[in-house]
Amino acid sequence: MNFASMTPVAIFTLLNVAMALGLYITALSGQLSMATAAIAGVGGYLAAVLTVKFGWPLLPAVCLAAIAGGLVGATLALITLKMRDFILKLTTLAFGEALSVLAFNWDYIGGANSFTGIGLKTNVWTAAAAALIAFYVAWRFDGSRLGFACRAVRDDPLAASAMGVSIAATRTVSFALGGALVGQAGAIQAHYVLVVSPHDLGFFVSLNFIIFLLFGGLQTLWGPILGAALLTILPEALRFTNEYRLILYGLIIVLVVLRRPEGLLTRMPLGSELKVLGFTLRPARPLADTPADRRLRPLPTPLVQPAKIAAQ
């Protein structure tokens, strides 16, 4: 494996990390958007049109793509503000598919033939810059007042609004910020792939990002990073297994979902203490009555089993 074959993998890994962080910010307010690929596609199409048809340099085009992504995200948040959980996810799905259909039938941006002729303007460092910006924004947002407000809305909207947190404002901000990060990453990706096609906006592409998030774990900032990096590198690293690689990829996803349903990285993974060479890396933690802890230790069972009542 030489360096030349590593470069595309590195670029896609960095861009996927950036998009996964964008989706993480969106998900922080409690709603998982299923239109990530569509927002990335909006950014990609816009930046590509600007650089190809108007001769803009990359940087302003990417900035404008980020703004457009943010606007699309905010619109999506405002549309779905009053909707219930499952319906919201379906609406974001339908929104993404609607954008895909729009791109399919709009001849100015290539229509069904995809938008081609984009100049190669992305290298590893551009992608690294996109990932770093995304990381910085997500990191600062994670610890900010607004970030905590988002988590409060996620955990209990009623209690949060009783404490004076505006659900509409936090949700719109988190969707817009996440959309902006996804938009800029999409714009940079378009200048590496050199083609933006309507199929890139569809549901199955968006699903990849949701898998990144749930695979890595939603509880910390590092979960999406790990998930995106692992799942982008994994199919390439498994390439030596030839035709078995996608089967292994599927199996690994199933195993992780079964063994660690909260994602690979959780905020406090174990109740036991972790020692290496006599140094306590992590002190023991008392177990609580949470789903994660119940798997570690059997909790006292109630005297009468509900299942037995049902059987009688």
Minimum distance between the CB of residue 281 and other proteins, rounded to whole angstroms?
29
* Contacts with other proteins, residue ranges (CB under 8 A): 32, 83-87, 90-91, 94, 97-98, 100-101, 104-105, 112, 203, 207, 210-211, 214-215, 243-244, 246-247, 249-254, 257-258, 261, 306-307, 309-311
The minimum distance between CB 28 and other proteins, in angstroms, equals 16
Locate 65 and state its tokens.
């793509």
Minimum CB–partner distance for residue 138 and other proteins (Å): 20
Residue 98 or 268 with smaller CB distance to other proteins? 98
Structure token pair of residue 133: 């910006």
Which one, 2 or 105, has the nearer CB to other proteins?
A: 105
Min separation Cβ 54 and other proteins, Å: 29
Q: Least distance from C-beta 303 to other proteins, angstroms? A: 17
Which C-beta is closer to other proteins: that of 141 or that of 215? 215
Query: Mind spelling out the 3-state secondary structure of 36-64?
Result: HHHHHHHHHHHHHHHHHHCCCCHHHHHHH
Of the two residues 144 and 305, which places its CB atom closer to other proteins in the complex? 305
How many whole angstroms separate alpha carbon 206 and alpha carbon 299?
A: 39
